[in-house]
Amino acid sequence: MSEASLHTPFGRVITAMVTPMRPDGSIDAKGAKAVVEHLLDLGHDGIVVNGTTGESPTLTAEESIEMVSLVAQTAAGRAAVTAGVGSNATAHSVDMARRAQDAGADALLLISPYYNKPTQAGLIEHCRTVAGTTDLPVMLYDIPGRTGTPFTTETLIELAAEPTITAVKDAKGQPWASSHVMAATDLLWFSGADEQNLSLLAEGATGVVSVVGHVAGRQYAEMVAAMDAGDVATAREIHRRLIPAVDALMTTSQGAIMAKAALVELGVIEHASVRLPYVEGPPEHLDILRAGLREAGLL
C-alpha cells in the first residue's frame, strides 16, 4: 500500500485502542506505550483513543486526556491519533474537544448522545457545536446499538456540509443506508464493525476502525491494499481467514475484554484488567480466544 493511498487525516488502518490497566484499576502508562508500538509494528496509520474499546465510559476526563497525550507523544507523527470526545452533555464534549486538541490529538471521534436520545435536530446541533469548537477533523460514530440514537441518512448528509465533519465510523449495520450517504457526500467512510470490514470496503469505504486490529492489523492493511488494487479475491481470502479471530474477540464477550486478553496472550501487556461493570473473561472464554487466534494464524 503506497503512502499516498494511505493518507487521510485519520489514517486508513485504524484500531480503537484499549486502555491498559493495572490490577488496581489504574492506567498502565507503560502498557499503553507498548500497545501503541505494537499497533505501529502491525502497520496501523491511525489509532483511536477513548473509544468504547478504550473503556471511555469509566475513564475520568483527566484520564482520557492523559491517554490522548500519552498516545500522541508515543506515536509521534507515525500515526494519526483520533480522540473520542463524545458524551450525552454537549458542554462536556466541547470541553473534551478543546482539551484533546491541546493534548495533541489529530482528529476527534463523536458519538451521538446516549441515554437522553435527542431528536435528529438536536443531534445535528450537538455535532455542529462540538465540531465548531476546534479546527480538527471530526469522525462521527454511528453505533445506535450502544447509544440508542442513530444518525439518519438525512442527518449525515446535512452534517457533511460542516467543514470539519469529514468522516463516519459506521457500526449501524445498515449497508444500504451507508450506500446512500456515500453516494450523496464526500464523507470518508470507515467500517466500525470487524464483521463488516470487507462488505463496507466493497461499498467504497476508505478504511477500518477495528478492534480485531489489535492482533490482525497487518492483515487488515493487506485487505485495504487488496481492495485498492481491485483484488477482491485476496481481500475475501483475508476476511475468511480472520473469521475465527473476529468471532473470538467480538462475539464471545465484549471487545475491550477480549482484546486485552489477546494482548496478554501475545505478550504486549502484562494485565488484562478492566473496570467495572466489565469483568475479565473466565477460563472458557480464554480457551475460545486462543483457539480462534490459532485457527486464524495469529497465535
Q: What are 60's strand-pairing partners?
A: none
Q: What is the dihedral angle through the alpha carbons of 7, 10, 11, 15, rounded to the nearest 10 degrees?
A: 180
Residue at 6: amino acid letter: L
Catalytic residue among 141, 172, 220, 260: 141
Supply the pLDDT for residue 2.
Answer: 34
| Residue 117 annotated in active site | no
**What's the CA gap between 45 and 7, in Å, rounded?**
9
> Which single residue is written with the C-alpha cell 439518519?
152
Longest Cα separation, the chain: 49
Supply the pLDDT for residue 7.
Answer: 76
| Residue 220 annotated in active site | no
Distances 231 to 120, 200, 274 between C-alpha atoms, Å: 39, 15, 39
- State the 10-residue block means of pLDDT for the chain, 299 residues long: 60 98 97 98 97 97 98 96 97 98 98 97 98 98 96 98 98 96 98 98 97 98 97 98 98 97 98 97 98 97
Instruction: Spell out the SS3 assignment of 85-100.
Output: CCCCCHHHHHHHHHHH
Domain ranges of the chain: 3-231
pLDDT tens digit sequence for 87-100: 999 999 999 999 99
Residue at 75: amino acid letter: A
Chain Cα centroid distance, residue 102: 21
Residue at 97: amino acid letter: A
The pTM of the full predicted model, rounded to 2 decimals, is 0.96
pLDDT tens digit sequence for 196-239: 999 999 999 999 999 999 999 999 999 999 999 999 999 999 99
**What's the CA gap between 120 and 286, in Å, rounded?**
41
Helices (H), the chain: 3-6, 29-41, 61-75, 90-102, 120-131, 144-147, 153-159, 175-184, 197-203, 213-228, 232-241, 243-250, 255-265, 283-295
Instruction: Spell out the SS3 assignment of 171-213.
Output: CCCCHHHHHHHHHHCCCEEEECCHHHHHHHHHHCCCEEEECCH
**Measuring CA to CA, which residue among 197, 147, 190 is closest to residue 168?**
190
State which fold the 3-231 domain adopts. Answer: TIM Barrel (3.20.20)
Catalytic residue among 30, 33, 169, 260: 169
Q: What are 14's strand-pairing partners?
A: 46, 209
For 270, half-sphere exposure in the C-beta direction (CA atoms, 13 angstrom radius) is 9
Supply the pLDDT for residue 134.
Answer: 98
